[in-house]
Structure 1
Amino acid sequence: MSTTNVVFFAGLSVIVGRILRVNMGRKFYIFAATNKEAFVQRNLTAVIATLLLACPFPAAADLVKKTSSGICHPPASSYFDRTKNYQAFDKVEACLASGGRLPKGMSGYRDNSESASRPLAKADSRYERSKFGHGWDDADGDCQNSRAEALIAQSSTKVRFADERLCRVVTGRWISPFTGKVIQNASEIDIDHVVPLKWAWDHGANTWSDGKRERFANDPVNLWSVELSLNRQKGAQGPEEWLPPAGKCQYVSRFVRIVKVYGLKPSQGEFNRYKQQLAEYCG
C-alpha cells in the first residue's frame, strides 16, 4: 500500500474519532452516539468500506476455483469465469492436494509463477504470543497498560478504578461492537485484537521486527472491548472464517483497513471473500 493511502486512511480515522469523541481532561471518553451521530457513523463506515473495495491489496496469488465435483479451474480454464460456486485456492498445487483434479485437456497444467504462490505459509508452527511482546504494554509508564487505556477510551461513561493509583479499570459502560450489548463490569470484557496476532503472523508479521509486532499488538485501532465468550470463540480466525453476530460491516471494514495499513498479505481467496462481505454488509 502506498504512503499516500496510509496517510489518507489514517487521516480519515482521525476525522471519525473527532466526531465521536469529546475531550475530558487528560483522557478521551467515547459517549453513546445520538441518532444524528449514529447516522454519521454508519455513513462514514459505508464510505470507508467503498474506498477499501476500490484500493487493492498488495499483489496476491491467482485464484483457483474448485467446484463441488472436485474440478480445479485455474484462470486459464475455459470454465473459470462461468464457475460461480466454488472453494477458493491460491494455486493449482493446493487445489490438487485437497483431492481436486484439473479439467480434461489441462492435466499437464502447472502454474509455477511466483505470483501464483502464497506469500507466506498459512500454518507457521513458530508462532508464539511472546513474539508480539509480553502481555499488554505500558508505553508511557503511567501504570495504565494498553488494555486499561482501551477500556478508558471505549467507555461511554467515566470509568472507575480498583484503587487510587488509577491503574486497573473495574467498571464503566461499554457497548460491544460484536453484539451491541451494554457491559458495565470490566471483568466481563476481553480486549479483542481485530486482526488476531496469529493471523497476522501467518500473513506477514513473521517478517517484522519485534518492535513493530509489539506496536501492532498494542495499537488502539486494533483493540476492541468485547464479550469474553465471543473473543474466545473467534480465536485466531479472520472474517473469512468467523463473523460477529452484529456489526459485521464495521468489523470487516476495520479488519481490512488494519490489514492494508500494516501491509499484511491475505491470499487471493481471502481477499475475494472480504470484497464479497464488504459489498454484502456495507452496501
Structure 2
Amino acid sequence: MITFVRGLLAAALTALPLLTATPTHAAEVTLRDAIDALPVADESRTGYERSAFRHWVDADGDGCTTRSEVLLAESVGPLTTTGRCKITGGRWVSYYDRVEVTDPRKLDIDHLVPLAEAWDSGASRWSAARRQAYANDLTADRSLVAVTARTNRSKADQDPTTWMPPAAQARCTYIEDWTATKTRWDLKVDADEKNKLVKEAATCPDSPLDIPRA
C-alpha cells in the first residue's frame, strides 16, 4: 500500500510547479552506498527556531497550501472538499503506523527529516529562501508525508537513533527516505545516526535510490 500511495503522490506532483530551480538528478546509487556517502559531522542546535523555516505556503498561487497539496496527493479514496482546497474528508493510509484515516484533522504533514534535525545538519547556514523551499518540498515525494498526529508527535524532532516507525513494514522505506532526503539537501549525519542507518539498512533490500538534487 505504501508503494501505491507513493505512486499516487508522484503522479500528482508532476503537474506542480517547482519550489526551487529544476533539480538535476544524482547518479542512481544503492541504499547502502548512499548511506556510506553521507558526510559525518557533529550537530548543533544553536540558534534554532521553527519560524526559521516558513512552511505551508501557497508556492504556486493556486489557493492550496503545501499541507493541502500533500493531502490531495496522498489520498487513496474520494475526497470531500469545500472549494478547491479545504479538504473535509477522504481516505489516507498513515505511512508510519498503517492506520487508515478519513478525517484530515487527524493527520499531520510530517517533514520526514524534521526541521530541527535539518538545522542541526547544515540548514543553519542556508538562506531563508532555501529553508522555505526545504519546508515546502513538493518536488521529492519522500520529503513530506501525511501521517497520524499521534505518530508525528511521538517522533517530534528525533532521528532514527531514537525513533523509528511503529509499523515494521515501514522501516526500510523510512531508512531509504531519510537517506535520500539527507542526500538531496546535502545534509550531514552525526556518528550515531550513521551507525544506526548502516545497521537498519543491513536488514533491508539494497534498493537503488534515484535522488533529485535540491
Question: What range describes the TM-score normalised by the shorter chain of this pair?
Answer: 0.7 to 0.9
Task: Specify the code of the residue in structure 2 equivalent to 1:53.
Answer: R
Q: Deviations over 1:18-74 (max 9, x none)?
A: x933968x979xxxxxxxxxxxxxxxxxxx9x802113334425xxxxxxxxxxxxx
- Report % sequence identity: 32
Match of 1:196 in 2: 114
Of the three residues 244, 261, 267, the one matched with 2:165 is 244
Match of 1:53 among 32, 37, 42: 32
Partner in structure 1 of residue 98 of structure 2: 180
Matches within 5 A, 1:102-181: 118=42, 121-124=43-46, 126-133=47-54, 135-161=55-81, 163=82, 165-181=83-99
| Structure 1 counterpart of 2:137, from 211, 215, 219 | 219
The residue that corresponds to 1:72 in the other structure is: none
Partner of 2:191: 268
The normalised TM-score by structure 2 is 0.78
What letter corresponds to residue 262 of structure 1 in structure 2? Answer: W
Q: Is the 8 A contact 2:45 2:116 kept in 1?
A: no
Q: What residue in structure 2 maps to residue 259 of structure 1?
A: 182
Long gaps (5+) in structure 1: 1-15, 29-47, 62-117
Deviation at 1:281, TM superposition (A): 4.2
Q: Give the Å deviation of 1:167.
A: 2.1
Q: Against the structure 1 CA distance between its residues 281 and 263, is the aligned structure 2 distance closer, same or farther, given a 3 Å change threshold?
A: same
Q: Which runs of 4+ in 1 moved over 4 A?
A: none
What TM-score comes out, normalization by structure 1 length? Answer: 0.60
Given that residues 113 and 178 in structure 2 are in contact (C-alpha distance below 8 angstroms), is that contact kept between their aligned partners in structure 1? yes
Q: Return closer, same or farther for 1:160/1:277 CA change in 2, 3 Å cut-off.
A: same
Q: Which amino acid aligns with 1:136?
A: W
Report how many residues are paired: 185
The CA deviation at 1:226 is: 0.6
Aligned to 1:9: none
- Cα displacement (A) at 1:122: 2.7
Report the 3-state secondary structure (helix = DSSP H, G, I; strand = E; otherwise coil) of the residue aligned with 1:192: strand
Deviations along 1:109-164, one digit per CA (max 9) or x if unpaired, are xxxxxxxxx3xx4332x11111111x411001111100000000000123211x2x
Q: Structure 1 CA distance, aligned partners of 2:57 and 2:134?
A: 11
- CA radius of gyration, larger in: 1
Hey, what does 1:92 align to over in structure 2?
none
By relative contact order (CA 8 Å, sep 6+), the higher-ranking structure is 2
Query: For residues 160-186 of structure 1, what are the alpha-carbon distances to aligned partners after superposition, in whole Å with 9 as ceiling and x for unaligned?
Result: 11x2x3121111110111111111110
Unaligned runs of at least 5 residues, structure 2: 17-27, 207-214
